A and B are shown apart, each in its own frame.
Chain A
Amino acid sequence: MSNILQELESEIASLKTSVTKSNVGVVREIGDGVAKIEGLSDVMLNEMIEFPGGLYGLALNLEETEVGVVLMGSGLNIKEGDEVRTTGRLLQVPVGREMLGRTVDSLGAPLDGKGEIKADAQYPVEKIAPGIIARQSVSVPVQTGIQAIDAMIPVGRGQRELIIGDRQTGKTTIAVDTIISQANQNRAAAEGKLKDHKPIYCIYVAIGQKLSNVARIIQTLENAGAMEYTTVVTEAASEPACKQYLAPYTGCAIGEWFMDQGEDVLIVFDDLSKHAVAYREMSLVLRRPSGREAYPGDVFYLHSRLLERSARLSEKEGGGSMTALPIVETQAGDVSAYIPTNVISITDGQIFLETDLFYQGIRPAISVGLSVSRVGSAAQTKAIKKVSGTTKLDLAQYRELQAFAQFGSDLDEKTKATLDRGARIVELFKQNQYSPIPLELQVSTLWAMQNGHFDDVAVENVKDCQLKMEEFLSTRKDEVMAKLRDAKAITEEIGAELKAAVEDFKKSYKAPSAE
């Protein structure tokens, strides 16, 4: 009790004599979420401006006689002549380990009703990306748990891999699967089942999405037990454009804290097309000159400065990393539109999803020809590199021959074999949503495919055979799987044991009868 009194008295004493100096301005115009302020002679760019009633705004346009401020909330109670003041601080958000498992808005305020967040620190929303000296090259993989990606378009820690495709092609599913896979690996490592695994914490940033979609994703993450390693930053479609614009930077700031602690982070921006639209809206109401497709001239910088913050820091800097999976939605598969080309040029590769493949039942609907990972192959584990070396080529040849084969039935043996192998690989890469596959099982089935163990299985039964093989290997041949998991390479010994295990399975495998 006396402590509280002392605290109160000391606070009052500190306030007694001081006179506060502030820089103020007067609201001249307000509308469309933007206020024009006269005065504010000392304002900084991106500084937070305090309005009456505890509302804050962001100073984005500094002109000769007025300041354009974007409001971060409803400005219904603000009127002409109201006095506003500078705060002397740039926008900062709470960061720290307590953010895990929480859903917050772009100002870091909790939205999940789980109480206050005790932040470890406050990080600025806008920050200059780490320089060249502070970085090291990408060399550690992010196991997405999606076989097609891990085998053909590998992602490394610190990489920026774009997920691009039309609406309803499974872009978010790939991101959510990756988050679930990280949670599974983190849990396995914590239980001692996965050696030398550095946990990856995840941040999912939802920009301009329907609240029902965000709620569904959070539920999926909770059901999969992934939420405890994840922070969700969300600004729904109903929020002001300014808050939607800030959301990815807030996510980035939360991720940077982990990176600065030497930890690894995965951040998903879902999606940057909506982010660009929010920024366009803001720029238009601020009367900034518009360019192509009415986007402002700095829309490239908007995304480049965000994605450049993803990095793998050198050991001297703590060795942390931030891997980014930005998502971009295309219209009718047009990758040459403004925002997609911008983000493609910024990122280190893209996973392109095709509507046609999706409706053919090939899910994830990854277009092998258009998808690429520019740095990820350096991060692939030896085991997966060994078994997937020629897979991308096999699939590309298959697609080419498939087009030819439609015109004639007389095919030579080699062509037939290529077509058969291709059809089986396509089946092998089909995968249910929210069920990431562990590395050792991916390697085993790819090894079996490469060594012809699927050749005598009818194409329509390949998936069934694969699922049963995975079950057999994980329950009956756990020792071999553990060795593979630890070594992350197919040594002679492991190869022999794997061969025996697969042959063992094949003896007992019975294809489902066609009814």
Chain B
Amino acid sequence: MKGSKDAQRIARQLMKATVIDGRVDASVVRTVMVKLATDKPRGYLGVLNVYSHLVRLELKKSHAVIESAKPLGAVLEANVLADLKGKYGTQLTSEFKSNPELLGGMRVRVGSDVWDGSVRERLVRLREKFG
């Protein structure tokens, strides 16, 4: 996502103001959007584009995607989420998905970190070892 240098600079400054205590403040995001849309400063579309990209990346850092071969059940989901919140903070949002390609086990992604305990991953590693 490339905007003009000015747009990037302004969007970065807005982003700094948006992140409070390590998390994205929704009210600040709304204020920024309304202000830019009403005042329409020069290049505001570019700024909005870069800003939304930065907000999306920031939100991803505190969003967990938990994949498993078949649905986990409420108790297990709650346990997994509690563990993850203990590690990544209570603001962590989550999304549970079932992915039969994993064959078994679980795969958790938070931001760029991936914890992979799926059967598919183990088979891949086994293949690499004996490859």
Residues of A within 8 A of B (CB): 11-12, 15-16, 18-25, 28, 38-42, 64-65, 85
Contact = CB atoms under 8 A, between A and B. Distances in A.
Contact of B57 (A20, A23, A24, A38): A38
Contacts of A40: 112
A11 B129 contact: yes
B112 A42 contact: yes
Contact of A11 (B1, B53, B115, B126): B126
Given A15-B122, A15-B126, A20-B121, 12 more contacts: A11-B126, A11-B129, A19-B117, A20-B116, A21-B116, A23-B114, A24-B109, A24-B113, A24-B114, A41-B112, A65-B53, A85-B114
Contacts of B126: 11-12, 15
Nearest to A24: B114
Nearest to A12: B126
Interface residues of B, number: 20
Contacts of B115: 19-21
Contacts of B129: 11, 15
B111 A20 contact: no
A240 B121 CA distance: 31
20 contacts: A11-B126, A12-B126, A18-B117, A20-B117, A20-B121, A20-B125, A21-B113, A21-B115, A22-B114, A23-B114, A24-B113, A24-B114, A28-B1, A39-B111, A39-B112, A41-B111, A41-B113, A64-B12, A65-B54, A85-B114
A85 B128 CA distance: 15
A38 B54 CA distance: 11
Nearest to A14: B129
Nearest to B54: A65
A437 to B, nearest CB: 51
Contacts of A18: 117
Interface of B: 1, 12, 53-54, 57, 61, 109, 111-117, 121-122, 125-126, 129-130
Nearest to A287: B2
Nearest to B123: A15
A15 B112 contact: no
Contact of A25 (B112, B117, B121, B130): B112
B96 to A, nearest CB: 18
A182 B113 CA distance: 52
A150 to B, nearest CB: 50
Contacts of A21: 113-116
A65 B3 CA distance: 13
Nearest to B125: A15
Contacts of B114: 21-24, 85
A6 to B, nearest CB: 14
B17 to A, nearest CB: 16
A16 B129 CA distance: 14
A11 B113 CA distance: 25
A85 B115 CA distance: 12
Contacts of B61: 41
B116 A22 contact: yes
Nearest to A42: B112
Which 9 A-B residue pairings sit nearest by Cβ, starting from the closest? Answer: A19-B117, A39-B112, A41-B112, A24-B114, A23-B112, A22-B114, A20-B116, A15-B122, A21-B115
A24 to B, nearest CB: 5
Contacts of B125: 15, 20
Interface centre among A12, A40, A65 (most CB of B within 10 A): A65
B28 to A, nearest CB: 19
Given A15-B125, A20-B125, A65 B112 contact: no
